Structure 1
Amino acid sequence: MSITSLAIALTIAFSTGSGQPVVALEQGRLTGRSADGVISFQAIPYAAPPTGALRWRPPEPARAWDGLRDATAPGAICVQPPANGDPGVGPPPMSEDCLTLNVWAPDDAEALPVMVWIHGGGYNNGSGTAELYDGTRLAGRGVVVVTLNYRLGRLGFFDHPALAAERDPEEPAGNYGLMDQVAALEWVRDNIAAFGGDPRRVTIFGESAGGVAVTQLMIAPAARGLFHGAIVQSGLGRQRSARLAEDRPGRPSAQSLGTTFARGAGLAEATAGELRALPAERFLSPMPAFYTDNLVVDGQVLTEDVVEAFAARRQAPVPLIIGTNSAEFWWIRPADAGAYGRTDDAMTDAEYDSLIGAYGGTANYDASVVSDLIFSEPARHLARLHAADGHPTFLYRFDVVAASNPEPSGGATHASERPYVFDTLHTVGRPMGDRDQRAATLMADYWTTFARTGDPNGTGQPEWPAFQNDRLLQFGNDGPEPVAVPDAGVLDIIEEFYRRVRP
């Protein structure tokens, strides 16, 4: 850390007589909160509001402000459908002016590792402002935590021929939400030292769509060098994205999807101006589907899908934690409508019969095959590819189920690990026991140790073996335990299926 940055960091906790921390950035000065040895700053703009003419444009730099900006309350969440009880969505209001981030740091922070959280929600929901993602408990372990908002749904992942006609051919398009994430990482690089963070030790971590974002950032040219470690929680891995303008069998392009939406909105011959004049809420209905609408290979921000990039050794050469939960999509059956339920439709009779045998019958197949197709096998596959390329890799399986769990899930359901990672069990909304707190303490310790050293192992923690010979760390109700990858025979058959349909 430079002398100038150190001086700025040391003024954070002592700049005002009121005890509120103040930090000076190039954009302006901020005042935050201090409690229990941790300082926090909320709703910090990292990019200009993407409104008006900036809707569906790459993010532009945040504007400066005069005076002391109050950073003690969360900012607006990005435009999205109702949360339906998801604790990963912060409080209203909702606005297109939402490109802000939040920072937590020990009040004596100096050149500490940085953890940047990318929320999930299918690229349709979520925010970095949710209480679930409060970074206080992680920061108390000696890291600087950043959470962020990014554009969602059709405001974040969208294109239309009228938009293409007006933009420069070299301007990136389609993946605006991913561009926002890159802009946030650039902000971290340029500003985090003022909060006591080390821009040379940044770990990105995310869950579900946020886990997908982590893998996409690992292959995005614009993100290279902006982070130095990655954690993927339930981040898929075998998804097949739409192209920006090229229709493929069974996979309309982003521009075709945009044209269909515009027609439904009464704009059969839409102009760019007419699309930008639509109220933001109009883009919420019908809600785009993550697996078919919000994943785009645009040719610039993303030039290929994740699995192809990993197979070609083009991913970021950084330490990686990757894993899944034991009962991810337990409620989705292979006969269900929708992209996830259709995942097994391309199986041959022989492949289907082999999987039925490996699962021990149709009941287990129906209960588990969607989760294994979408999460378990892809995570193992990416871990194998990354480790084979010589990069530190750690695979996990989360199987902690609270006694108060009301669902007949038969394991840890999708997203249930989040309050354990952040050590925020108090946000769950039902009683959590001592074993849950022990699991949360260990997970938060592993995650922050990894951010510090590139290896999750530390003093007093059960050993987490580096990924080799298909071994992982299983987090269970009785504590973490190194084990062979569960259901390896099932995953082997799924791997062969993917090899056939996507050689």
Structure 2
Amino acid sequence: MQYLPLFARILGASTSTASPTNSGSGHGKWIVGQIVKTTSGLVQGHPASNATGVSEYLGIPYALPPVGSLRFQPPIKYHGHDTINGTNFNRVTDISKGYGCIQSNISSSDAHFPDDLIKSYGITEAGLRILVEETNPGIKFSEDCLSLNVWTKPEVGEKSKAVLVWVHGGSYVSGSSALSMYNGQFFAAQEDVVIVSINYRLTIFGFPGNPLSSPNLGLLDQRMAVEWVRDNIAAFGGDPSRITLFGESAGGISVDHYSYAWRHDPIVHALVPMSGLASSLGLRTKELGEELWFNASEAVGCGGQNTSVVEVYKCMMTKPAEDIVKGLVNTIDGPISLPYSPTVDNIIVFANYNGLPSATLPMVVGCTDFEGGLFRVFVPKGAPDGFWAHESQIQFVCPAAVRANISVQAGNPTWRYRYMGVFPNLILSTNPQSGAYHSGELPPLFDTVAQDLIASTPEEIAIGNYMRGAWAAFAKDPVHGLERYEDGWPRYSVDKPSLIRIGYENRTRANLVNGNYYDDGC
């Protein structure tokens, strides 16, 4: 069995009728859910379901639907004047339906997690729910998906709030801003920040390998979403001069790629790549991207590598999306690591990052204590002892160490963390224990841990509050905010106590060790 590819393949998880306004900056004037004027049109929101005073705006189109002649092409900005019903992720209107982007399989068993793996690993009821969520249950999908969501509370707190823009993960083949895990209402309510989450094209639609187009459409989508935030967030009470881009897994990789691709005009003012960096799992070459493109085209009857590229392209434009994705490579049990993912074009994604300058921005970078605790349960047992710990080290810990050092050497304020919390309602497996696994910090961070099976412990709640507060402090003041947060977060240094252990032994305050404490083998 080829263990490394198996590990790598997974990375890649009541309305108001108020008058329109251009600004949410006036305390006492903001009506929860009021209509907001944007470049996309007038957006009607509503009160968030479980966070008092938070206005929720869902499924706002930031780009034209990438359908018809726009399929497999770079995004084009959406400009509108009509009223957008932003009260549901899956609106049934003619103006962007807020769907999740078309996905392809994480594994061949996406529809049903295998019973043999459940029994073999002792996967818990809560764990099974978390694993199923990786395949986006109950979310509707469409090519018409380039939308974003905003949660804000302008009637209190700062008149112009710091903004956090979330980029979801999912191995670049799954995930959606509509996942309940990423709901931003609690973050916005508790930390006096504006939360934005975005969709971007996935799988072959976001990373096609089409010789006649950019191979990195999904990354271009992300950039256009950030441009929309810059141009419109002030109308929601946000501060366009304080935008932080944060993401996890494929989202973290995307944040890091963004810092290099748009280093001369980053728009954002701070970066938080979580459990994923440009150097984490290697890069898809142009040649491999084209091979996968022609494999897909041949599977749907559009010809292969020996057919005219123009004829293949014209044919692929006519095929239903669901037919195209049927023949795509599975991310886990296929032969290729991250088959549909950022591809070297030396414009947005570069063949060699050694010595390449990135945007000069403050950064928080880190990973979980045992990333492999998630990946392990997707494959039958059989790896040698220590394999998953080793792969966690090579694919996550060491890249974080390298990236933190690069950021420090560039003179950027830099912090490094390691998330270590383990709680009963988030345990994936018991044989062996899943530990603080890949993506395990996200429900506490967004305060979206399901409570119906097992209630959160007081320590879990406190650690979630602590982490959320830290991310908000950084967004509000990327240079000094963390130094002033709670007991103070020292800037990262290899040989000084500066690596922040969040949830160490489930303690409710961060614990410090030397920056290189976990970097054996790096």
> Is the contact made by 2:21 and 2:37 (CA closer than 8 Å) also made in structure 1?
no
Aligned-pair CA distance for 1:221: 2.8
Change over 3 Å in CA distance of 1:204–1:429 after alignment to 2: farther
Change over 3 Å in CA distance of 1:238–1:28 after alignment to 2: closer
TM-score by length of 1: 0.81
Which residue is equivalent to 1:474? 501
Find the partner of 1:388 among 409, 425, 429: 409
Q: Counterparts of 1:85-100 in structure 2 under 5 Å?
A: 85-86=132-133, 89=136, 91-100=138-147
> Is the contact made by 1:394 and 1:472 (CA closer than 8 Å) also made in structure 2?
yes
Whether 1:124 and 2:173 are equivalent positions in the alignment is yes
Letter matched to residue 117 of structure 1:
W
Structure 1 alignment gaps of length 5 or more: 165-171, 342-361, 496-503
Whether 1:148 and 2:198 are equivalent positions in the alignment is yes
Change over 3 Å in CA distance of 1:177–1:137 after alignment to 2: same
What secondary structure, in the 3-state scheme, does the structure 2 residue paired with 1:117 have?
Answer: strand
Aligned-pair CA distance for 1:424: 1.9
Find the partner of 2:41 among 28, 48, 72: 28
CA distance in structure 2 between the partners assigned to 1:88 and 1:265 by the alignment = 24
Q: Cα RMSD over matched residues?
A: 2.7
Which residue is equivalent to 1:279? 320
Which residue is equivalent to 2:437? 413
> Is the contact made by 2:207 and 2:217 (CA closer than 8 Å) also made in structure 1?
yes
> Is the contact made by 1:400 and 1:412 (CA closer than 8 Å) also made in structure 2?
yes
Which residue is equivalent to 1:348? none
Change over 3 Å in CA distance of 1:211–1:412 after alignment to 2: same
Change over 3 Å in CA distance of 1:277–1:6 after alignment to 2: closer
Change over 3 Å in CA distance of 1:429–1:215 after alignment to 2: farther
Find the partner of 1:401 among 418, 422, 433: 422
Whether 1:106 and 2:153 are equivalent positions in the alignment is yes
Aligned-pair CA distance for 1:459: 5.6
| Percent of paired sites with the same residue | 30
Find the partner of 1:461 among 478, 486, 489: 486
Whether 1:320 and 2:370 are equivalent positions in the alignment is no
The structure richer in helix per residue is 1
CA distance in structure 1 between the partners assigned to 2:487 and 2:144 by the alignment = 44
What secondary structure, in the 3-state scheme, does the structure 2 residue paired with 1:203 have?
Answer: strand
Letter matched to residue 85 of structure 2:
D
Change over 3 Å in CA distance of 1:435–1:27 after alignment to 2: same
CA distance in structure 2 between the partners assigned to 1:377 and 1:428 by the alignment = 37
> Is the contact made by 1:182 and 1:222 (CA closer than 8 Å) also made in structure 2?
no
Change over 3 Å in CA distance of 1:464–1:283 after alignment to 2: farther
Q: Counterparts of 1:287-326 in structure 2 under 5 Å?
A: 287=329, 289=331, 291-302=338-349, 304-305=350-351, 308-309=352-353, 311-326=354-369
Name whichever of 137-146 and 184-193 sits farther off.
137-146
Change over 3 Å in CA distance of 1:145–1:433 after alignment to 2: same
Which residue is equivalent to 1:354? none
Q: Deviations over 1:404-449 (max 9, x none)?
A: 4241335201100001221222379643211110110000000000
Structure 2 alignment gaps of length 5 or more: 1-19, 90-97, 105-109, 112-130, 332-336
Which residue is equivalent to 2:295? 260
What secondary structure, in the 3-state scheme, does the structure 2 residue paired with 1:199 have?
Answer: strand
> Is the contact made by 1:156 and 1:175 (CA closer than 8 Å) also made in structure 2?
yes
Aligned-pair CA distance for 1:137: 1.9
TM-score by length of 2: 0.78
> Is the contact made by 1:88 and 1:119 (CA closer than 8 Å) also made in structure 2?
no
Whether 1:8 and 2:23 are equivalent positions in the alignment is yes
Find the partner of 1:243 among 279, 282, 285: 285
Name whichever of 320-329 and 220-229 sits farther off.
220-229
Name whichever of 224-233 and 148-157 sits farther off.
224-233
Aligned-pair CA distance for 1:238: 3.5
Which residue is equivalent to 2:71? 55
